[in-house]
């Protein structure tokens, strides 16, 4: 039984580290319309959608914390934002889990765009200059579209990473 529970403790950090590597290499070079796609927020949203508000908040916090180590923004900004996003996405769990694939993708894409706006607003509150600007709409659109396209693979990965071991009597 210990091996089954421990495997979740291995799968989750593995997913976060692989996503961070992809975010900082592949997506850092690919910037359509001068906007950086954000698959780290996709992880927080899909974790909440798969595991519920509490696990989504914890997963979002850890994901944001990992991302904060490579960003030049105030430390903890991503962790705070992604924790809130993961928590909020937990309430979308029923919409995403019972929806057709295209509807789940739209919900994840829209949640991603809202998360980017939330990041900018929270960043402004904590002193990040020019976070809310006209280019923010473009960034929201790019992140929303990219994350909508990647929603189904991300949901599959999160279901694998966050699956709970079967209960024994």
CATH for 42: 1.10.1760
CB-facing half-sphere around the CA of 137: CA atoms within 13 A: 1
Kindly state whether residue 166 falls inside one of the protein's structural domains.
no
Q: Does residue 76 lie in a domain region?
A: yes
What does the DSSP assignment read for 79-125? HHHHHHHHHHHHTTHHHHHHS-HHHHHHHHHHHHHHHHHHHHHHHHH
Instruction: Name the one residue in this structure whose structure tokens are 């928590």.
Output: 87
pLDDT at residue 130 in the model: 86
The answer to whether residue 165 is domain-embedded is: no
What averages of pLDDT result for each successive group of 10 residues across the chain (169 residues)? Answer: 64 95 90 89 95 94 96 92 95 78 90 96 90 92 96 94 71
Q: Is residue 130 part of a domain?
A: yes
Closest by Cα among 11, 13, 12, 39 to 25? 39
Q: Please, where are the H alpha helices in the chain?
A: 2-24, 26-29, 39-51, 53-68, 77-90, 93-98, 101-125, 135-162
Range of the domain at 13: 2-160
SS3 for 55? helix
**pTM of this prediction?**
0.90
Specify the number of domains making up the chain.
1
- Reported as a single tens digit per residue, the pLDDT across 140-165 is 999 999 999 999 999 999 999 988 76
What pLDDT does 144 receive?
A: 96
* Residue 101: inside a domain: yes
Could you tell me if residue 137 is inside a domain? yes
According to the model, what pLDDT value does residue 1 have? 45
105 within a domain of the structure (yes/no): yes
**118, 164 contact by CB (below 8 A):** no
Q: Is residue 112 part of a domain?
A: yes
What pLDDT is stored for residue 163 in this prediction? 83
User: Hunting for tokens 């698959």 — which residue is that?
Assistant: 39
């Amino acid at each position: 039984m210990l091996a089954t529970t421990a495997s979740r403790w291995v799968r989750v950090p593995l997913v976060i580290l692989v996503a961070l590597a992809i975010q900082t290499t592949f997506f850092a070079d690919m910037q359509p319309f001068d906007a950086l796609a954000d698959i780290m927020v996709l992880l927080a949203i899909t974790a909440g959608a798969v595991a519920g508000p509490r696990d989504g908040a914890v997963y979002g916090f850890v994901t944001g914390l990992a991302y904060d180590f490579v960003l030049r923004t105030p430390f903890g900004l991503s962790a705070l934002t992604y924790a809130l996003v993961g928590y909020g996405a937990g309430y979308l769990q029923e919409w995403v889990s019972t929806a057709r694939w295209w509807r789940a993708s739209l919900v994840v894409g829209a949640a991603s765009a809202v998360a980017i706006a939330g990041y900018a607003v929270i960043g402004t509150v904590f002193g990040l200059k020019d976070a809310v600007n006209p280019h923010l709409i473009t960034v929201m659109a790019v992140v929303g579209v990219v994350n909508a396209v990647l929603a189904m693979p991300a949901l599959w990965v999160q279901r694998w990473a966050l699956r709970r071991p079967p209960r024994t009597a």
